[in-house]
Amino acid sequence: MLDLTRHPKLLRWLGRLDRARAFFGGQKQGWREADQNLAAFYARVWKEAASALGADLVDLGQGAFEIRLGETWTRVAENATAIDDLASHRVVRLKVVMYRLLQAAGFPIPRHVVFDVEDMRPAVAFLESTDRECVLKPAGGTGGGRGVATRLRTRWQLARAAQAAARFGEELLIEEQVEGENYRLLYLDRQLLDAVRRKPPSVTGDGTATVAELVRQANALRLARGAEVSHSLLPVDLDMKRTLAVQGLSLASVPPRGTVVTLKTAINDNGGADNETVTHLLCRELVEDGSRAAALAGLRLAGVDVITRDPGKPLRESGGVILEVNSPPGYYWHYHKRDGVCPVAEHVLRALLKQRVDTPRSPEYRWEPSR
């Protein structure tokens, strides 16, 4: 088998070919509708927030809204708001920069190496120096699990993951996979608003359908019921294939009736039934670590992702890590979970309306509030 890690030019070319296919191939069937479902979710939560605060909401179109309370106003578009500055948003999306900041401040983070797709030697050396499975992801500029591949053990798997991630940029990051569950800690002005344990997406076998057919059925349900089920579709990507492989399965496998099949290791595409509130389970040290990480990132509103086996213990005791700081964080996981709603948009809107906005409106501005 060809060792692609020894042929960086070929690997880079294959990555660019993937990028071109994605660009010219257009949006996959169903994804546009999924995006519309997500936009409808955000429209709903902002309308609910405005109503709760007695504010007027004006629909500007294209998923954007202006919300007014007396002489104060702000604008929002899905999870994009004016709560934080653009530079802070940009920095937290640079995963390598955030890792440096977190490490310098003494936070536990995954052991990792940054490399360029043109020189795979550092990644190969890292992979072969650890007895843990590894994760590969773009070094910056992405979110939502795009370009992430998990449970890598071999050079071939590493090369395939690098090829897929190179669609999003040629600087990549490989890190040790930390065992434990994924927790999203949401902070506003350093105060914990909500903590959610996020399970990976799964399907249940019926004894006749292949995994691929079960995924198609799950996606059809997600499209039909929107945010009630999930905020996204399930992409058939390298992370899904690797996650299936470690269970001894493939897309062509037929799981026995009642068998639960984990589809992905990255949790970004899970559904509401996979989320549960765990604020009461967090120890004081973990809550404080998340707050300090948000402050280190320079953010008022931040989603801090933690991997740990036991949220009741400090990260240094449990062997857990801070995986990522997110801005702007998604709201979905806090509204759609098994045990209640955290009205994030209401908290954020209240904070936004406390900020005086001095930008004058045009005299021609005549739009009326939405009802």
Per-residue pLDDT reduced to its tens digit, 86-110: 999 999 999 999 999 999 999 999 9
Which of 48, 295, 52 lies closest to 185, judged by CA?
Answer: 295
Taking only the tens place, the pLDDT of each residue in 264-313 is 999 999 999 999 999 999 999 999 999 999 999 999 999 999 999 999 99
SS3 35: helix
Q: pLDDT at position 336, please?
A: 97
Please list the residues that pair with 262 across neighbouring strands.
202
Taking only the tens place, the pLDDT of each residue in 141-188 is 777 778 899 999 999 999 999 988 988 888 999 999 999 999 999 999
Question: pTM for the complete prediction?
Answer: 0.89
Q: How confident is the model at residue 27 (pLDDT cuts 50, 70, 90)?
A: very low
256-259, long-range: CB < 8 A, 24+ apart: 256/205, 256/207, 257/205, 257/206, 257/207, 258/204, 258/205, 259/204, 259/205
Q: How confident is the model at residue 214 (pLDDT cuts 50, 70, 90)?
A: very high
Which residues, 6 or more positions from 191, have their beta carbon under 8 angstroms from its beta carbon?
291
Q: pLDDT at position 359, please?
A: 52
Q: pLDDT at position 31, please?
A: 83
Mean pLDDT of the chain: 91
Q: How confident is the model at residue 255 (pLDDT cuts 50, 70, 90)?
A: very high
